[in-house]
Amino acid sequence: MIKVRGLAKTFKARRTAVPAVRGVDIDVAEGEMVGFLGPNGAGKSTTLRMLATLLRPTAGEAVIAGCDLLSDPGGVRLRIGYVGQGNGAGTGQRVREELVIQARLYGLRPAAALLRVDELLARYELEALADRLVGTLSGGQRRRLDIVMGVLHRPGLVFLDEPSTALDPQSRNNLWQHIRSLRDEHGCTIFLTTHYLDEVDALCERILIIDDGRIISEGTPDGLKAGISGDLVTLATIDPPAAAAAAARIPDVQDVTVDGPHLRFRVPGGDAVVPELMRVLESYGNNVLSVQIQRPTLDDVFLTLTGRSLREADAAPVPS
């Protein structure tokens, strides 16, 4: 559904070149739900806008939904839906009116446009708001309306740029259900950008991680997590240095540290290792006071790949 080779974009800003995307290769099969994860300024939106024909690449080639991005952008536009970060609908219009105008722009006849709009208003829980001014909708309602705008013409591929930014937890969960149903019930291929780790964990079966304009890793969330150095185990004991010495003798244990009453280490399959370690420690009176086993997160994956946390990267100034 998406095949991209060497796609790049360099902006010119005040006579300096800003290499926002430095040559990315992307393959997405029909029906996949793929997340494009990276910190602020990594190049996610720029890539998405190129794939959605909104920005001309500086270099590279792509076939999107069967059409060549450079020679047939019109064909691409007919086959994709794009839900950007800004709100697509005009604030002064009423919800149903705005959708009907959009459906007519996609070439639907008046009766078919009304039918399609009413079907989508019902599906996205916007029926009761059909006659409200767009500007009076809440953030979550606006995002649902944006999605409806993006799928009116039944695209097979939908691009979503940071879909749940600025939504409260309940609205995010509701939005995620709607995004899942786009794929599960309507067979859409979904490609979404995000810098929220929980969003990729909740929605995506495959992730591409981008940093500084380059894709630095890709795989399933579980595969990427399994590729790093195991679970983080934190034990509180009455003699942490002695516990550290015992832990260090276990095969595959890494990164053993002592911090006050706490001993920390990483080991694959922490669930299996910890009971045995506890038996050894307690056999010589080094009682274990508490145990915590944390599975690796996608942030640990990013930290392992780049030496920084995604959260730190987001807090850092955006390169320009």
Q: Is 46 in the site for ligand ATP (CB under 6 A)?
A: yes
Reading across the β-sheet that carries 254-259, which strands appear in turn? 254-259, 262-267, 231-237, 288-294
Least distance (Å) between residue 97 CB and ligand ATP: 30
Cα first-last separation, the chain: 32
Stretch of 40-48, 59-67, 91-99, 182-190 lying at the interface with ligand ATP (CB under 6 A): 40-48
Q: Minimal distance in Å, beta carbon 61 to ligand ATP? A: 19
Q: What whole-number distance in Å separates Cα of residue 178 and Cα of residue 202?
A: 12
240 binds ligand ATP, rule: CB under 6 A: no
Rounded CA-CA distance 26/38 in Å is 15
Query: Given the rule CB under 6 A, which of 39-47, 74-82, 276-284, 290-298 is the region that contacts ligand ATP?
Result: 39-47
Supply the minimum distance, in Å, between the C-beta of residue 319 and ligand ATP: 5
* 41 near ligand ATP, rule: CB under 6 A: yes
Considering only the stretches 44-52, 134-142, 216-224, 226-234, report the one whose residues sit in contact with ligand ATP under the rule CB under 6 A: 44-52
Tell whether the torsion through CA atoms of 62, 68, 71 and 72 is positive or negative. negative
Question: Which of 294, 283, 316, 179 minimizes the C-alpha distance to 232?
Answer: 294
Minimal distance, residue 291 CB to ligand ATP, in Å: 37
CB of 48 to ligand ATP, least distance (A): 8
Cβ neighbours of residue 286 under 8 Å, at least 6 residues apart? 237, 238, 239, 242, 243, 246
| Phi, psi for 126 (deg, rounded to 5) | -115, 5
Strand duo 189-194 + 33-37: pairing:
parallel
Q: Are 2 and 191 in contact (CB under 8 A)?
A: yes
- Residue 20 engages ligand ATP in binding (rule: CB under 6 A): yes
Among 1, 2, 22, 45, interactor with ligand ATP by CB under 6 A: 45
The binder of ligand ATP chosen from 96, 144, 195, 264 (CB under 6 A): 195
18 scored as a contact of ligand ATP (CB under 6 A): yes
Contacts with ligand ATP by CB under 6 A lie at 11, 13, 18, 20, 38, 40-46, 195, 318-320
